[in-house]
Amino acid sequence: MTSKRRSAGVMLAAVTAGATLTGCGQLINPYTTELQYDPADGVSARVGDLQASDLLIVNDGEGSEGKLNGLVYNSGSSDSQLTITVNGTDTQVTIPAGTSVRLDGKKNGNGDKTVSPVTISSLGDAKVGDQIRATLKTSPGGSTQVSIPVLLDQYPYGDADVDHAESETSGDESHGSGH
């Protein structure tokens, strides 16, 4: 009897260890596919009927102002006024009801509605690579604070062109030889 109990105990321990080591112990660790995160360079926020996605500020690396990029969707049945406050300066944008708009002023591909490009006039001491605190506010939706990353004005968010040096090649060079 003792050896049967011992065998059963060893078997139970082996099954428990196997389940734990293979990741079946999800009571302790959450499924990583269920974690909430922003799968982009920008951040997301919800305030009232508005859902903002991929918010980021594009800066040329020298100036104190930046362009706000991102998409804002208004799930409400009426237009909503969004106030964005950065370093004490308010910028207001009207988001049409039942649609989404890009904050860079371009069409979003799902409709014809656009807003004027949103410029943040003062980034304070923030520079490329930093995050800057902003408050998003609607009435009657309330307000929320977000930390928006500041990125360099380059592809894919900016519109700065990359300058490449001209290459000089002589007519004798063989092209495509792989050597």
Does 84 have pLDDT greater than 90?
Answer: yes
For the residues 26-41, what does the mean pLDDT come to? 66
Q: What b/e sequence results for 33-70 when a residue is b if at least 16 CB atoms lie within 10 Å of its CB, and e otherwise?
A: eeeeeeeeebbbbebbbbbbbbbbbbbeeeeeebbbbb
Average pLDDT for the chain: 81
Give pLDDT tens digits for 134-168. Answer: 999 998 889 999 999 999 888 877 776 555 455 55
- The Cα–Cα gap between 55 and 150 comes to 10
Largest alpha-carbon pair distance within the chain? 91
For the residues 67-82, what does the mean pLDDT come to? 94
Give pLDDT tens digits for 113-134. Answer: 889 999 998 888 888 999 999 9
Does 169 have pLDDT greater than 50?
Answer: yes
Comparing 30-39, 77-86, 91-100, 135-144, the range with the smallest average pLDDT is: 30-39
- The band of 61, judged by pLDDT with boundaries at 50, 70 and 90, is confident
